[in-house]
A and B are shown apart, each in its own frame.
Chain A
Amino acid sequence: MKPRFRFLFPAALAALLPACSSPKTAYVEPGSSRLITSVDQVNIQDFAQAADTMVASLIDNLINPGQLRSGVPGEPALLAISRIQNQTGQQLDTDLLVKKIRVALLRTGKVWTSTTIAFGGPEDPLAAEEQQLLGKSAAGVNRRPDYTLSGKIIENTTRAGNIRQAAYVFQLSLTKTPEGIAVWEDEKTIVKQGSRPAVGF
């Protein structure tokens, strides 16, 4: 090898390395495809994907056919959040799923969510107190929810050799009150396979 070419390879390598290595810490858009994906955890993109599917299903099967009914004419239907069970082995805040659905439903202009009537107590205690005071006076009549949202997150894992597989099943039901009839139900399964966590999917 000629002496002047001897330094060419290390120089080229040194030039390539900084370009290929990723920075130690960086901001990533929550909706991007560069988020960390792990097999044994429900990642934030899984919640977003499940919520997106559920909202689209609600619009397609209940809102678009005109089957969503409101107790007060001219006002959107009122939804109360019931029990969302976490049946996975992980500690999850189910609001990662429910809040996304609530926000998306609110923006359809067809659904409102009650923050004073919810499973496990009111989300907004002060508003609930105000509502109670109003209910006791002769002037006001509290609006009751037209629907309740309940569901489960279930985990199923298996492995073959080094490859692990985890299935996360998101089940939701919308119940018409006070009849207690499920007028919409859906299930979204997210299956992940891999041996170790990775960035991107």
Chain B
Amino acid sequence: MKRIPMLACCLLGAAWGLGSGCSSTTVNTVEPAVPTARREMLADQRVQTDASLARAVRVRGVNTATDAQGFLRVQIEIENTTRSRKQFTYRVQWFDDQGMLISLPTATAVPRALEGREVAYITATAPTPKAKDFRIQFLEPVTQ
């Protein structure tokens, strides 16, 4: 008999939690059917250790461009495949032509959030013309 009120309390709590905190917000978008801009897509290599984050925040493609002054620009198209808001952080690392990491005081983990089904872009500009390669790390938000 004691179990029934407890179960009811649990169900009520769960329903309240779902109703208040986890309400889904999805995004509607519109764009030209035939885009004029042509992107140079890059073959990428992925190392996924957080499968749930990789499933929720999917990398759709990576494209790069280099301007006259030699600064590499990177654009990553990402998609939140879930129906709810997803928070994550990302960090961009730059490497020179010998594969050595370029350290900078501005290097930081950048917080980002995507609404449900939202497609967005992460853009990064190389800090120096010496930067020839890059790596982007995605991480679930760490909160204690």
Rounded to whole Å, the gap between the CB of A71 and the closest CB of chain B is: 19
The residue of chain B having its C-beta at the shortest distance from the C-beta of A46 within the complex is B108
Q: Is B28 an interface residue (CB 8 A)?
A: no
| Segment 124-144 of B: residues with Cβ below 8 Å from A | 124-129, 139, 141-144
B89 at the interface (CB under 8 A from A): yes
Residues of A within 8 A of B (CB): 22, 30-34, 45, 48-49, 51-52, 55-56, 59-60, 63-66, 99-101, 103-104, 107-110, 198-201
User: In the complex the two chains form, is A64's CB within 8 Å of B71's CB?
Assistant: yes
Inter-chain contact B73/A60, CB cutoff 8 Å? yes
Pairwise interchain contact A104-B109, C-beta atoms closer than 8 A: no
Q: Please, how many residues of chain B have a CB less than 8 angstroms from a CB on the other chain?
A: 28
Instruction: Name the interface residues of B8-44: CB closer than 8 Å to any CB of A.
Output: none
Q: Could you say which of B45-53, B78-86, B99-107 contacts chain A?
A: B99-107
B104 contacts which of A22, A60, A107, A200 (Cβ < 8 Å)? A107
Measured between alpha carbons, how far is A56 from B92 in the docked complex, in Å?
12
Residue of A nearest to B93 (CB): A31
Query: Which residues of A lie under 8 Å from residue B110 when comparing CB positions?
Result: 49, 52
Contact A100 B106 (CB under 8 A): yes
Residue of A nearest to B88 (CB): A33
Give the Cβ gap from A150 to chain B, nearest Cβ, in Å: 19
Check B125 against A109 for contact (C-beta < 8 Å).
no
Do B67 and A104 have beta carbons less than 8 Å apart?
no
Residues B125 and A56 in contact, CB atoms below 8 Å apart? yes
5 more A-B residue pairs beyond the given contacts A33-B89, A55-B125, A107-B128, with a C-beta to C-beta distance below 8 A: A48-B106, A63-B69, A103-B106, A104-B106, A200-B142
| Cross-chain contact A31 with B109 (CB below 8 angstroms) | yes
- Of the candidates A33, A45, A60, A201, the one whose C-beta lies within 8 Å of that of B125 is A60
